[in-house]
Structure 1
Amino acid sequence: MTTCAVYARVSTDEQAEKYGLAAQAHELRALAATKGYRVVDEFLDDGHSGATLDRPALARLRDAVRAGAIEVVLAHDPDRLSRKLAHQLLLLEELEARSRVEFLTTTRAATPEGGLLLNIKGVVAEYERLKIVERTTRGKREKARRGLVVASYPYGYRPDPASPGRLVVHEEEASVVRLIHAWLIEEGKTTRKIVDELRRLGVPPSRAGRRWGPTQVRRILGSDRYTGRVFYNRDAIGAHGRRRRPATEWIEVAIPAIVTQETHAAAKAVLARNRAAYVGRPARFTYMLRGLLRCGACGARYVSCPQHGRRCYRCHGHDRFALTAGCRAPMISANVAEAEVWTTVADALRNPATLRAGVEAWAAQRGANDVDLRARVEALARKLRGVEGKEKRLLDLYVEDGIAKGEVAARLRALTREREGLRGDLGRAEAQVAAHDADGGRLAALDRWAAKARRGIDRLDAAGRQKVLQHLVDEIVVGADRSLKITGILPTETDQSLLSLPS
């Protein structure tokens, strides 16, 4: 008796429009009985798109056919194998090299007309898939425009049973979200330290059977959805990966907020500082100023650089493999620089009046910078609206007055380049404003945090001192004469004569 295998597939979007998985399998078993075939296995892909070949049951079917265990493959219709004609032809060629493929809805004839009919059905199936995608996307977009959540609910929320498409706060998980933000912003814990605390306390993760990890914590801290909004149509996922769409195409959906905008901005700012300080291969020695030093000549970061057993810092622009001439900024001794910076910071911590004066000066400078940053954002937004208006007028002229197509295309390309450049500049400026707003949150807890640091300042090891510096210092600019200028909560300039590299 001829052995055969049954293959059936449904995607999420098709379940309501075509036969279900069980119905397909039942009809194919009946077809096998009518033809006198013996069904040796069933390969069922539930909820997998026909636009891709990456399907678990299809992969197992292909392996079984290659092994010679199956003589005939039965499928309900060619579009069950794939909704792309190229994929259909590829699969048929591969499967029929070792077996025979038969369909319930289509009689295959070994004639040119039979091949033409099969190809026509493949084209129709691909067209139908695109129409399903179009209808589904249009429905989701309209749902988002009505203020309803399209995607699955994030950690900290649950669907509102009284109002489909809305979310309500899950208080137990929301308290965990707030606690994670507080650990990062107020206590200065890294994401790995936060994970350790969550596991130690036995906090249930978002999915049963999983454990808390750094990636999940970073997603919670970096996501703006917890400020009370989610966006539909913000990202485009294609063959070349994920890309961010223009902000004008986003659809904002309001949801209950768990943290404030200021808390979210503060968390992003702390994550950025931690990334500068901790990313990369762990150093052989502890470098207290890692991620804080910047070259005053070229603007590059200073990196740790052991020299014959001595800890040093050097400008990252001083690279012998660079195509241009390397930066000639001096190397500085880690021991001397760290001791001088720590003495300055520790003296300020021990003297609340000095610390408060530094904070007030920093806040005043912050206020001046705030005006400049917001003015730049407004100017860039105005320029962007002007360029978009020019594009629209150019297209209207092309339609109404019949301007030459080549001339329109050239001018549109130039406007597109200008528009994309402005959008990039605007995005970076808005990020600077968000980071700038986040710095304001550092003032609220500074007195409490400084009082706590003063009690144990003399007992801190190198790692503890590094943590203190990360809280109080934004960056330290290294001058050509090895002077150090500290910017942040404690703006000051150290004695340059103490920072020369020991010979």
Structure 2
Amino acid sequence: MIAIVYCRVSTEDQARHGYSLIDQLDVCKRKAQSLGATDIIECVDEGISGSILERPGLTRARDLIRQGHIDLFVCYDPDRLARNLSHQLIVTEEIERAGVRLEFINFDWKDTPEGKLFYSLRGAIAEYEKEKIRERSMRGKRRKALEGKVTHMPGVYGYRYKDSSLEIIPEEAAIVRQIYTWCATEDMGPKSIAARLNDFGIPSPKGSIWQKATVKRILHNRTYIGELILQRWDHRGGKANKFRPPEERVKIKFYPKEHWVTVQVPAIISKDLWNAVQERMERARQLKPGRAIENYLLSGLLRCGICGATMHGFRGTIRQKHRIYYVCTARNPGIPGRPKCVQPYVLRDFLERQVWSRVVLWVQNPDELCAALEEQLRKDSESIDQSELVMIESELNSVTKERSRLVDIFQRGLVPISEIEERLEALKTRENRLLERKSQINSRLAVIRQAPTPQDIRDALREVRASLDNLDFEGRKHLVRMLVDQIVVTPGEITIRARVPIKFLE
């Protein structure tokens, strides 16, 4: 007689009832042997919810039953077979249709109308019990979060989970601070930051190379200012998606914002640095070219001086005449939840003439731009974080220690020379990159200590001045974005804030 022994356990079941796989297998095999089985096939699902039908172990058992030659199917309990009543009935019907005998350890299965009714009732109770367990678990986690405790390891780089709280990992926290500093002070985006981290040989959170998306998530994560958001995602049913066919997978959704819970954790960066990075990322998003019917020289640079919203181009018709404006987004089309702004429409040509004349003035008379540059350099000297130099020195020390360790291993004869040479070469490459970056920072610090003169700016803009009259639209747009950080528009006043690119420091 050939028998299938099917066992399943999930983490919660094992903790609550002691349904260990070893115990289940042992008692089920003894049951099969007592019924005359001489050949026993074990089908096991470990850590998989009983609410899923397409489990690897169960699928294998069902396939073997369809192929024939199976005489007996033994399972510990009906709720090990499935937690969903409809799934229980599907599998039971397949077993019976194939002429296979079905036996449970904790349930007396009878192929009678009464027996099937009792079996169905027990399956419905098991399904109800699972939902109650899930409800209690979710309620307990929410209560814990409302008490200011961390309910699980959120997987945030720079932290480790300990005693219902998060603890900072100093080495990773230093990398996080450097990522934010590079973005805020060097105007670097996620892609450039990822490339620099890879050049330094610093492993990513998963131990491989850094990706743009990974850096972007770090730059937008409020946990780093001490605000961990819990109860944000509705994961119900989603943990088992990898075992479901695509058409049955559960979509992970956001809970409404009022359901979210913010838990205070140790901060890695200051709120000032966080705000500076968010402003930089928002500016980059606004400046990203989009699809437009008309050409707008100031796209992405305009702010409403009344409500603070962005302003965008708008093509309207008044008295059967087409006119092109810049309009506050809070006025047209409007921002949900905010009152309509009263900022008047501003003619595109008028506003662009005002801004362009200021840019031309800066290019032809750099004294005002020099004053802006001096202010920028003063802020740079305050914002350049010495922590990157400290981090580089720490990494250089690690390289030295690792080199000494490899030499020691080789002297003991534990590793062949070919492997040692390969690892020493990798260390040398990493050391050279760190030294190169250290030199760049020191050079930048040296330049900052010597404020550029008006003549320095004239030299930098000489080529621009020579071709100023011949610039096409894209050339003028590039120049405006290079020298203008933001334009604030209020009725009767236009404030143009200069932007001094880091390129002037190089």
**TM band (smaller chain):** 0.5 to 0.7
Tell me the residue number matched to 1:434. none
Alignment correspondent of 1:275? 285
Aligned in 2, Cα 1:206/1:63: closer, same or farther, shift over 3 Å?
Answer: farther
Measure, in 1, the Cα distance between the counterparts of 2:143 and 2:34. 47
Q: CA deviation at 1:258?
A: 0.2
Q: 1:292-307 residue pairs with structure 2 within 5 A?
A: 292=301
Change (3 A) 1:177 1:30: same
The superposition leaves residues 276-333 of structure 1 with CA deviations (integer Å, 9 ceiling, x where unpaired) of: 334879x9xxx997755899xxx98569xxxxxxxxx999xxxxxxxxxxxxx9999x
Q: Superposition pairs for residues 414-453 of structure 1, below 5 Å?
A: none
In structure 2, do the counterparts of structure 1 residues 253 and 110 end up closer, same or farther at CA, with 3 Å as the change threshold?
same
Q: CA deviation at 1:354?
A: 6.1
SS of match in other structure, 1:186: helix
Q: 1:84 to 1:358 in 2, by over 3 A?
A: same
Unmatched runs of 5 consecutive residues or more in structure 2: 237-249, 305-309, 315-323, 327-345, 377-444, 465-473, 500-506
Q: Is the 8 A contact 1:349 1:450 kept in 2?
A: no
Partner SS, residue 23 of structure 1:
helix
SS of residue in 1 equivalent to 2:148: coil
Task: State the distance in 1 between where 2:38 and 2:87 align.
Answer: 27
What residue number does 1:111 align with? 112
Once residues 57 and 45 of structure 1 are traced to their aligned partners in structure 2, the CA distance between those partners, rounded to angstroms, is: 9
Counterpart residue number, 2:228: 230
Give the structure-1-normalised TM-score: 0.58
How far has the Cα of 1:224 moved from its partner? Answer: 0.7
Change (3 A) 1:61 1:217: farther
The match for 1:241 is 252
CA distance in 2, matches of 1:343, 1:94: 82
RMSD: 5.0
Matching of residues 451-490 of structure 1 within 5 Å:
469=481, 472-474=484-486, 489-490=497-498
State the one-letter code of the partner of 1:157. Y
Instruction: Indicate the SS of the match to 2:41.
Output: strand
1:255 Cα offset (Å): 1.3
- Distance apart, 1:145 and its partner CA: 3.8
- Check if 1:257 corresponds to 2:267: yes
Query: Which amino acid is 1:254 matched to?
Result: Q
In 2, the alpha carbon distance for the partners of 1:32 and 1:279 equals: 69
Give the 3 Å change call, closer, same or farther, for CA 142–241 of structure 1 in structure 2.
Answer: closer
For 2:348 and 2:67, locate their aligned partners in 1 and report how far apart those are by CA, in whole Å.
65
Would you say the 8 A contact 1:358–1:490 is kept in 2? no
Partners of 1:486 and 1:56 lie apart in 2 by 67
Q: How far does residue 451 in structure 1 lie from its aligned partner after superposition?
A: 6.8
Residues 234 and 255, structure 2, Cα contact 8 Å, conserved in 1: yes
Structure 2 counterpart of 1:213, from 211, 216, 223: 211
Distance (whole Å) between structure 2 residues aligned to residue 30 and residue 225 of structure 1: 53
- 2:299·2:312 contact (CA, 8 Å) conserved in 1? no
- State the Cα distance separating 1:37 from its structure 2 match: 5.1
Counterpart residue number, 2:167: 168
How far did residue 196 of structure 1 move?
A: 1.2
Query: Counterparts in 2 of 1:20-39, with a 5 A limit?
Result: 20-35=20-35, 36=37, 38-39=39-40
For the structure 1 residues 72 and 458, does the alpha-carbon distance in structure 2 shift closer, same or farther, using more than 3 Å as the test? farther
- Would the alpha carbon gap of residues 136 and 343 (structure 1) be closer, same or farther in structure 2, given more than 3 Å must change? same
Structure 2 counterpart SS, 1:144: helix
Structure 1 residues 350 and 448: CA distance shift in structure 2, 3 A: farther
Cα pair 2:150 2:165 within 8 Å, conserved? yes
Q: Secondary structure at the match of 1:31?
A: helix
**Is the radius of gyration larger for structure 1 or structure 2?**
2
Gaps of 5+ in 1: 304-312, 316-328, 360-444, 478-484, 492-503
2:156 pairs, out of 141, 154, 171, with 154
CA distance 1:348–1:25, change in 2 (3 Å) = farther
Aligned to 1:11: 10
Whichever residue aligns with residue 86 of structure 1, its letter is S
Aligned residues between the structures:
369
Shift of residue 213 of structure 1?
1.7
Q: Work out whether residues 3 and 74 of structure 2, in 8 Å CA contact, stay in contact via their aligned partners in 1.
A: no
Distance 2:123 2:27 in 1: 21
SS in 2 for 1:115: helix
Equivalent residues of 2:8, 2:21 under 8 A apart: yes
Q: Secondary structure at the match of 1:15?
A: helix
Query: Structure 2 vs 1, CA of residues 358 and 206 (structure 1 numbering), >3 Å: closer, same or farther?
Result: closer
Paired letter, 2:218: I
1:73 deviates by: 4.2
Q: Distance in 2 between matches of 1:67 and 1:279?
A: 60
Deviations 1:332-351 (A, max 9, x none): 9xxx9999896467568763
Give the Cα separation in 2 of the matches to 1:450 and 1:53: 71
Question: Per the alignment, do residues 458 and 224 of structure 1 end up closer, same or farther by CA in structure 2, a change over 3 Å counting?
Answer: farther
CA distance in 2, matches of 1:234, 1:80: 31
Q: Distance in 2 between matches of 1:469 and 1:267?
A: 18
1:186 maps to 185
Distance (whole Å) between structure 1 residues aligned to residue 166 and residue 152 of structure 2: 11
Q: Could you tell me how far 1:77 is from its partner in structure 2?
A: 1.7
In the alignment, the residues of structure 2 paired with residue 487 and residue 93 of structure 1 have an alpha-carbon distance, to the nearest angstrom, of 77
Deviation at 1:177, TM superposition (A): 0.7
1:82-135 C-alpha deviation (Å, 9 max, x unpaired) = 322233334444565557454322232222112111111111111221222233
Deviation, 1:220, is 1.1
- TM-score, normalising length: structure 2: 0.58
Per-residue CA distance 1:345-400 (angstroms, 9 max, x = gap): 756876346638999xxxxxxxxxxxxxxxxxxxxxxxxxxxxxxxxxxxxxxxxx
Task: Tell me the distance in 1 between the aligned counterparts of 2:107 and 2:290.
Answer: 58
User: Closer, same or farther in 2 for the Cα pair 1:458/1:114, shift >3 Å?
Assistant: farther
2:133 aligned with 1:132, yes or no?
yes
Write out per-residue CA displacement over residues 18-72 of structure 1, whole angstroms, 9 at most, x where no aligned residue: 21222222222222322315223422222x2233446444455555555668665
CA separation in 1, counterparts of 2:363 and 2:94?
72
Distance 2:298 2:450 in 1: 19
Partner of 1:49: 49
